Amino acid sequence: MLDQLQRQGPALSWKTGNDTMEGNGSDPHQDKARRFRDAALPYLDDVYTLARYLLRNTGDAEDAVQECYLRALRHFDTFRGPAIKPWLFAILRNVCRGEFARRSGGLHYIDQYVDGEADKDEDAVRPLWQESQLSPETEVLHQRDAQTIRRLVAELPDQFREAIVLREINDLSYREIADVVGVPVGTVMSRLARARSMLRKAWIAEEEPAT
Amino acid sequence: MTCTETEILLHALLDGELDAGHAREVEAHMADCPHCAVQMRAFRELQQAMPAAQLRFTAPASLRRRIEKAFPAAPQRASSRRSVLKGFVMGTALSTAMAASLVVAVFRTDQDQRVLGDIVSAHVRSLQANHLTDVQTSDQHMVKPWFNGKLDIAPPVVDLTAKGFMLLGGRLDYIDGQAVASIVYRRRQHVINLFVTQGAASESHAAQLQTMQGYNIRRWAAQGLEFFAISDINGEELQEFVEKFDAALHPPKGV
């Protein structure tokens, strides 16, 4: 059953297409900029949130978001839907993986996690995580404040952090996550399973706050 | 189903991503397997302990300004249509900018483009301004009377919750300077706004798909009313919505 789900490739529908709906305005560039602004600016907080989690640094996140919006405006002609939020996320992700990884010496957001065959072997085919056998009967999940949860999420390895942020915080469907990340839906599911398992373990291992 | 499969698929179940068949299999397995049942509870507990709203970040105003500045400035000839927009300018710099750009678009485009542009803007506004519904109920018999006296049409309201489109409520909105009814539905996390306006009495045409700013719009006319369904769900699902809405309005004879 898992094989079936994994076989569905990512469908990058917005990358195809060549024409765009232009208004009848006299200046197509301004018209395009306006349509883009109306469509994309409402998602600024979402894009910024993803950038903060991917880059774990306020300044880098702001620069990446700005670059993302500039690129998105340039390529708005080729945007074919269905939803603009995942499209913006995909662009942001490329920005983060490219320039900002290089600038920071590749420390923050590393390509090797997400490229090629190694990836498939890593988390799609391997049956289950070894590091995270739960024994939930004896473990209690205490409430944590938002700051602590943010830190625990930020400490997850890149591909798992990305999956859980897109799902839990940015509220994307598996299909949308698969399109943004460029992996099959089955891989999204197994990454989420591992991400939650790792997060739960770190959550429980976290020291109780001093009261 | 094995424990290994279940331990992954339970996450899809938790996220509402599993089809009914697989969901039944996973649940059947958990009924017999205490280990997997405990896992399910543990991850549900984790999910509930993560309030997404508190884990989001808000973009700094300086970043918003930097991005706004990167766009070409909108021409300043918006004032004469401003009264039309008064009702829904939300007071933030963002929506003011959006409203101004909408006004310019209103001037420049022909009737159809103008209406479609308004539809998209009204949809976007309904999502961002925390003003999705004026009357919030899943009871169609409360939504329909709510529009009485507010409009010169009686928009049809049908509850499609059982068909996969949950009725959230109704709202008054403005399209092309005219008060219109918006009936709000939800499909998973996606909101569908169904705008209903007065159309030509004789006109009746089947749904056509249009895409604008990444939103899918289905437009059709029937019985003197014009309908616009808009959402970010894909075109096929939106067509499914149109068909189910239509079927609920006109149940087959003799049933």
Q: Among residues A115, A139, A131, which one has the least CA distance to residue A204?
A: A139
A62 is a domain residue: yes
Residue A15, pLDDT score? 38
SS3 of residue A209 by DSSP: coil
Q: Is the pLDDT of residue A149 over 90?
A: yes
B124 is a domain residue: no
Q: Is the pLDDT of residue A133 over 70?
A: no
For position B7, which CATH number holds?
1.10.10
Report the C-alpha gap between A156 and A174 in whole angstroms: 19
pTM of the model: 0.54
Calculate the average pLDDT of chain B. Answer: 79
Mean pLDDT is lowest, of B16-20, B50-54, B55-59, B209-213, for B209-213
Q: Is the pLDDT of residue A129 over 70?
A: no
Interface list for A 162-201 with B (CB within 8 A): 167-169, 171, 173-174, 189-190, 192-193, 196, 199-200
Q: Is the pLDDT of residue B205 over 50?
A: yes
Q: Å from B226 to nearest chain A CA?
A: 22
The H or E element that residue B185 is part of is strand B178-187
Task: Check if A140 contacts B (Cβ < 8 Å).
Answer: no
Q: Is the pLDDT of residue B251 over 90?
A: no
For position A73, which CATH number holds?
1.10.1740.10
B92 is a domain residue: no
Inter-chain CB proximity B46 and A73 less than 8 Å: no
Q: Are residues B242 and B139 in the same domain?
A: yes
On whether the CB atoms of residues B150 and B172 are closer than 8 A, the answer is yes
Calculate the average pLDDT of chain A. Answer: 75
B182 is a domain residue: yes
Highest mean pLDDT among A83-97, B123-137, B204-218, B239-253 belongs to A83-97
Q: Tell me: the pLDDT tens digits for A7-30?
A: 444 444 443 333 344 344 457 777
Q: Is the pLDDT of residue A4 over 80?
A: no
> Which pLDDT band, with edges at 50, 70 and 90, does B249 fall under?
confident
Task: Give the domain extent around A52.
Answer: 7-103
How do the residues of chain A divide into helix, strand and coil, expressed in percent and rounded to 5? 65, 0, 35
Q: Are residues B140 and B240 in the same domain?
A: yes
- The DSSP secondary-structure symbol of A170 reads T
Inter-chain CB proximity B232 and A200 less than 8 Å: no
For residue B5, which residues of chain A lie inside 8 Å, CB to CB? Answer: 1-2
Residue B229 burial (CB count, 10 A): 25
Domain tally, chain A:
1
Q: Tell me: the pLDDT tens digits for B60-83?
A: 999 999 998 877 654 444 443 444
Residue by residue, DSSP assigns B53-96 as: HHH-----HHHHHHHHHHSPPPPS--GGGHHHHGGG--SSHHHH
Q: Are residues B48 and B141 in the same domain?
A: no
> Which pLDDT band, with edges at 50, 70 and 90, does B252 fall under?
low
In chain B, % of residues over pLDDT 90: 24
- Beta-carbon-side half-sphere exposure of residue B33 (alpha carbons within 13 Å): 18
Inter-chain CB proximity A69 and B50 less than 8 Å: no
Q: Is the pLDDT of residue A6 over 70?
A: no
A147 phi and psi angles, rounded to 5 deg: -65, -40
B109 is a domain residue: no
Domain tally, chain B:
2
B116 is a domain residue: no
Q: Tell me: the pLDDT tens digits for A85-111?
A: 999 999 999 998 876 556 555 444 444
In chain A, % of residues over pLDDT 90: 40
Residue B112 burial (CB count, 10 A): 11
Residue B129 burial (CB count, 10 A): 16
| Residue B180 or B135, more confident | B180
For position B226, which CATH number holds?
3.30.200.100
CA A33, A34, A36, A40 torsion-angle sign: positive
Residue B106, pLDDT score? 39
Inter-chain CB proximity A146 and B213 less than 8 Å: no
Q: Are residues B234 and B142 in the same domain?
A: yes
Q: Are residues B146 and B239 in the same domain?
A: yes
In the block, tokens 């339970």 appear at B10
Q: Are residues B232 and B139 in the same domain?
A: yes
Q: Are residues B143 and B236 in the same domain?
A: yes
Residue B89, pLDDT score? 42
Task: Check if A125 contacts B (Cβ < 8 Å).
Answer: no
Residue B72, pLDDT score? 65
Report the C-alpha gap between B150 and B172 in whole angstroms: 8
Q: Is the pLDDT of residue B141 over 90?
A: no
Q: Among residues B17, B14, B20, which one has the least CA distance to residue B40?
A: B14
Residue A206, pLDDT score? 82
A34 is a domain residue: yes
A209 is a domain residue: no
On whether the CB atoms of residues B114 and B84 are closer than 8 A, the answer is no
The H or E element that residue B230 is part of is strand B225-231
Average pLDDT over residues B144-150: 84
A150 is a domain residue: no
Residue B196, pLDDT score? 92
> Which pLDDT band, with edges at 50, 70 and 90, does B130 fall under?
low
Q: Are residues B145 and B234 in the same domain?
A: yes
A135 is a domain residue: no
Last residue of a domain, one of B53, B76, B94: B53
Buried b (16+ CB within 10 A) or exposed e, A51-72: bbbbbbeeebbbbbbbbbbeeb
| Residue B205 or B236, more confident | B236
Average pLDDT over residues B169-187: 86
Task: Give the domain extent around B13.
Answer: 3-53
Inter-chain CB proximity B43 and A200 less than 8 Å: yes
| Residue A13 or B56, more confident | B56
C-alpha distances out from residue B83 to A134, B76, B80, B87, B176, Å: 61, 16, 7, 8, 12
- List the single best residue of A2, A29, A34, A175 to mutate versus B (max B Cβ within 10 A): A34
Q: Is the pLDDT of residue A165 over 80?
A: yes
Q: Tell me: the pLDDT tens digits for A33-48?
A: 888 888 899 999 999 9
> Which pLDDT band, with edges at 50, 70 and 90, does B113 fall under?
confident
Inter-chain CB proximity A44 and B59 less than 8 Å: yes
Average pLDDT over residues A184-200: 93
Give, in degrees to the nearest 5, the angle at Cα B102 between B98 and B103.
120
A124 is a domain residue: no
SS3 of residue B114 by DSSP: helix
**Residue among B42, B72, B74 whose CB faces A136 most closely:** B42
B59 is a domain residue: no
A15 is a domain residue: yes
Residue A112, pLDDT score? 39
Residue A142, pLDDT score? 81
> Which pLDDT band, with edges at 50, 70 and 90, does A210 fall under?
low
B142 is a domain residue: yes
Average pLDDT over residues A54-59: 90
A58 is a domain residue: yes
Inter-chain CB proximity A48 and B12 less than 8 Å: no
B204 is a domain residue: yes
